[in-house]
Amino acid sequence: MPDTVLPVQRDLLDPDVVALGALAARTGLVPADPLRQPLAEARDAAERYHAFLNGPALPADIREVAADGPAGPLRLRLIQPPGMLEEGRPLPVLIYFHGGGFAVNSIDTHDRLLRLLARHSGAAVCAVAYSLAPERRFPHQRGEALAALRWVVRHGADHGLDPERIAVGGDSAGANLALGLALDAREEPGPPLSFGLLLYGMFAHDFDGESHRLFGDGRFGLTTERMRWYWRQYLGHGGVTRDPAAAPLQADLRGLPPLHVAAAGLDCLRDDSLRLAQRLEQARIPHRLVLHDALPHSFASMTRHVRKAEEAVLLAADAVRRHLRH
């Protein structure tokens, strides 16, 4: 959604997204802007705005648990398709990391998306309430991601989860963590990960590509300026890195599970996903790249209002279902 005074190019943007922006404006809601608000206010604004996007909660079975994180308990939320608990069969599980530039948002802001993924994939979703930056910075979140995986492997069966059918997923900054966890999981004992779901990921510390030039000015929501700010919060020290653990596009990608990579066509991060697909091709990793050409960053949070966004999420959920079926 636009966060500047620059005009929206309505001929490029899906009409449902334009209508959603107008509806939000009429209700007095605007997306959070941590560059122009104190961070605490931006976080509160993000919760309010996403509550409007989410609307009434979709039916699901919810359970709150805690894992042993690198600095104390790590909150996990298990979201399971309605009625599946009574069937007695262990469910495959998608460990999911929400987006928000590592600095805003929560598992609550992503509630509708998480429930949709559970309902349409047939898997339990394990949503990870990882620490936000700058209070906690890289590599702390990578440690929390690994802690979540280890909890599912060691304790998931006690909660009706199948530790041999695990996928990882995330959007934006959460896709960074999901890809990082898939890389770390190669060294973990036990069955390999089955699948990865990466939605408009934040994979590289690079602002010079075509998508930043075309879309980084704010007409379609996310700006290059804000991306620089997010990286500074996450990394500190000026927010510059070539460490592949922080910017996994630079990592050795061999040995990853099959991946579904979804890019938003009107997103300054579009090229992160396109470049990742090229690297996956070079590493001979099975993957599917889907470019949703009329949608902006964060479209997966717009499913109640934007038909093409819902279709994109259902396509992703179907990919999870197919890869975790056996």
Residue 283 lies in a domain: yes
pLDDT at 5 over 60: no
Would residue 235 count as lying in a domain?
yes
Any domain includes 10: no
**CATH of residue 95:** 3.40.50.1820
**Quick check: 253 pLDDT over 90?**
yes
118 found inside a domain:
yes
Give the C-alpha separation, 44 to 30, whole Å.
12
Domain-located, residue 4: no
Whether 6 is in a domain gets the answer no
Inter-residue contact 24 to 52 (CB < 8 Å): yes
pLDDT at 51 over 60: yes
| Residue given tokens 């690079």 in the structure block | 206
Residue 103 belongs to a domain: yes
The pLDDT tens digits for 74-98 are: 999 999 988 765 567 899 999 999 9
Structure token pair of residue 25: 């404006």
The answer for residues whose C-beta is within 8 angstroms of residue 308's C-beta and 6 or more apart is: 14, 16, 292, 294, 295, 299
151 occurs within a structural domain: yes
Q: What is the DSSP string of 217-238?
A: BSTTS-BHHHHHHHHHHHH-GG
Whether the per-residue pLDDT at 4 is higher than 50: the answer is no
Domain hosting residue 222, numbered range: 15-324
Supply the mean pLDDT for the chain. 94
In total, how many domains does the chain have?
A: 1
- pLDDT of 240 higher than 90: no
Catalytic (active-site) positions: 172, 267, 297
Q: What is the pTM of this model?
A: 0.95
Residue 9 has pLDDT above 80, yes or no: no
Q: Among candidates 236, 109, 122, 116, which has minimal Cα distance to 174?
A: 109
More confident residue, 297 or 2: 297
Residues 137-165 have a mean pLDDT of 97
